[in-house]
């Protein structure tokens, strides 16, 4: 029990340290005070996808309402992670057809990027 507690503490310390390092130095108080910013989860990309509605329109290798992850992976590369992450959050249309993808404003940028990284890793 005590050991578990200690491990939790150490894990938390490491997390909070690495988080500090990533904080841009020029972050103004007003930016950090934005409360509506969606929280980042500790889940991996494929786990985040499971918690959202993505699987209703996407599968790994078959086109449904949206393109398959393999199709997306074959079309894009690492340098497109940022753009694709914004598309998941803001929604998009016109790239694969006329059916639009609805926005997911509840998803944080970090989580969106993790999902994109997972999708791109499905490349054949
Ligand atoms: C209502 C159906 C639907 C849902 C739910 C959905 N998508 Fe999509 N998705 C689409 C469609 C349709 C497209 C093609 C849009 C286009 O042609 O620009 C697409 C495109 C994409 C693309 C490629 C964007 C591009 O510009 O090429 C990615 C990446 C993606 N979806 C990821 C996700 C993720 C991750 C989720 C879950 C958070 C999700 N989608 C949920 C329908 C959906």
* The pLDDT value given to residue 46: 96
pLDDT tens per residue across all 124 residues of the chain: 555 554 544 444 444 444 444 445 555 555 544 456 788 889 999 999 999 999 999 999 999 999 999 999 999 999 999 999 999 999 999 999 999 999 999 999 999 999 999 999 999 8
C-alpha to C-alpha distance for 86 and 5, rounded to whole angstroms: 38
* The pLDDT value given to residue 13: 43
CA of 119, closest atom in ligand 1 = 29
Could you give the dihedral angle defined by the CA atoms of residues 42, 43, 44 and 50, in that order, rounded to the nearest 10 degrees? -160
CA angle 100, 103, 105 (to 5 degrees): 175
Q: Whose CA is nearest to atom 27 of ligand 1?
A: 95
């Amino acid at each position: 029990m005590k050991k578990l507690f200690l491990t939790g503490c150490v894990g938390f310390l490491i997390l909070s340290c690495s988080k500090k390092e990533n904080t841009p130095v020029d972050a103004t108080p007003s930016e950090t005070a934005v409360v509506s910013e969606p929280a980042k989860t500790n889940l991996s990309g494929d786990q985040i996808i499971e918690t959202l509605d993505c699987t209703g329109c996407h599968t790994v290798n078959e086109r449904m309402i949206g393109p398959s992850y393999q199709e997306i992976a074959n079309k894009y590369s690492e340098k497109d992670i940022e753009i694709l992450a914004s598309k998941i959050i803001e929604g998009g249309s016109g790239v694969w057809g006329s059916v639009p993808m609805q926005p997911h404003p509840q998803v944080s940028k970090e989580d969106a990027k993790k999902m994109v990284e997972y999708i791109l890793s499905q490349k054949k």
